[in-house]
Amino acid sequence: MFYQLSEEYFWNYCVVLPIISAIGIIGNTVNLIVLQRGNFKGFMFTYMQLLSLTDIGYLLFTVQACIFTDLGYFISKDGITSSSYALIFYVWVCLTPLWNTFGSGSDLVVVCMTISRFRILRDIDKINLCEWSRKKYHVKQVVTGCLVLSFLLHLPYFFQVNVIPCPPEEEDPPRQTLEDHQDECWTHATSDITQSLLWAIYGYVYLVIIKLCPLLLIFSLNIAMVFKLRKVWKQRRKLQARTRRREEERKRLQLEREKRRRVEERGAEISIVTTTARQMMSISNTLTVPGLVSCDGTSPMNSEEESGITSRRPSLMSTMDNSSSRFSKEANPKNKGKKKKIALFGMPSKESRKELKMSILLIVMAVSHGILTTPGNISYFFYTNLPDQWEQFEDRSLFKSIANSLNALKYSKNFFLYCITNPDIRKATIDLLRTCFEYFQCRGKTAIISGRSVTG
């Protein structure tokens, strides 16, 4: 029996979800290839690789769910039959737990990444960051533990549904007794274990550990990193201001020492010039040259000539004034062309833009995780703990399809938020895509040329 999809389900499961899943699979595959390069050796890059693997696993199961939904499964629990026991067993017993195992494992990996980033930011002024790169071998153990924990917590869901033979009224043609041809028609039914108190306790434990804890941790730690980041930037600005003041004080003292040295050198030069001038004046007053002095002891040079010579002789005080003025211009240069940087939130614009970008990114990570996971958490809560009420909800399939689309979007955007925002990874990704484009372009041209040669 096949279920006819309505138009909204068709667009969601046959168009939207496959496109989102395909983009996520391609992006995470590119991320895996890029992170294999030798310059990405830090433990955080190992987290990114394993996060990509878990996201790819979830998205592959999403594609399978779309295929089975197109065949009529996952929309209604009633009236779905098949002649293949393996198909019914895989779809209703195995697919959903395995699907959610990779999804919850990815959430736990993101939690571990967020905790590691928060610890680095918290202890950035206390430890050497090189110590963190030595813990790379711990990352694989942590991620393996996350996947094992996720699988163990989803293990009871393998017993939620039982595969049973079809009732006689659901066969075509209907059989006379339940024992006839039991291997030709199979369907599924909810197990009796879901009505027990133990299952209810398990449902709440699962909800807290797998759904609420990752959501609260990711949201709270990302918001805490925003405040910690602002505190680090504030401390950095204080340190830069203190360093700048020390540098200015050092330059001022150096200028004063240079000024005193130049004054001493200039004073020594002036002293030598003064002594020499006095000696020359005393010699000129006492020296008598025949033919240059008149009989009455006066100089034959007239007063006009003497005044002209005196006016052309450089004054000692004017020489000192000119020297001191030149020295003052050299010792105190004017600041030319210095423009003040526009400040935003009390710091230079470049640094404020960087802080603002990091803060917005952390807030987007926190808010987007909460928005994209909340519908899935609600549907899973009712599906596990209140199955009867969930079955009576007429639009449950539509709500579940929307939740699945948001979950697929969440696991597809991890690549962009955690990887593409890194400038090194972004550059390596662009180089890889450019290389692939050039390769396929070259192959296409070669095929066209070879085709023309064969035709000719």
pLDDT in tens, 179-218: 444 457 777 777 888 888 888 888 888 888 888 888 888 8
Q: Tell me the two tokens of residue 150.
A: 């996720």
Q: What is the pLDDT of residue 56?
A: 93
DSSP per-residue string spanning 179-210: TTTTTS-EEEEE-GGGGSHHHHHHHHHHIIII
The predicted pLDDT at position 320 comes to 44
Q: Are 48 and 109 in contact (CB under 8 A)?
A: no
Question: What does the alpha-carbon distance between residue 104 and residue 146 come to, in Å, rounded to a whole number?
Answer: 9
For 227-272, how does the pLDDT look when each residue is reduced to its tens digit (9 = 90+)? 887 777 777 778 888 888 888 888 888 888 888 888 777 777 677 7
CATH superfamily of 7-238+351-434: Rhodopsin 7-helix transmembrane proteins (1.20.1070.10)
Token pair listed for 9: 């389900």
If you compute the radius of gyration of the chain from its CA atoms, what whole number of angstroms results?
42
* Res. 335: pLDDT tops 60: no
* Residue of higher predicted confidence among 137 and 287: 137
Q: pLDDT: is 411 or 385 the higher one?
A: 411
Which pLDDT belongs to residue 451? 62
pLDDT digits (tens, 9 = 90+) for 62-87: 999 888 887 777 665 555 667 778 88
Query: Which 8-state DSSP code applies to residue 296?
Result: T
Can you give the residue ranges of every domain in the chain? Answer: 7-238+351-434, 247-329
DSSP 60-81: HHHHHHHHHHHTTTTT-SSS--
Dist. CA 384–CA 377, nearest whole Å: 10
Q: Give the model's pLDDT for residue 364.
A: 76
**In this predicted model, which residue has the larger pLDDT, 354 or 433?**
433
| Structure confidence at residue 39 (pLDDT) | 76
Examine the pLDDT at 60 and tell me if it is beyond 90.
Answer: yes
Percent over 70 (pLDDT), the chain:
67
pLDDT of residue 151: 92
Residue 110 contacts residue 214 (beta carbons within 8 Å): yes
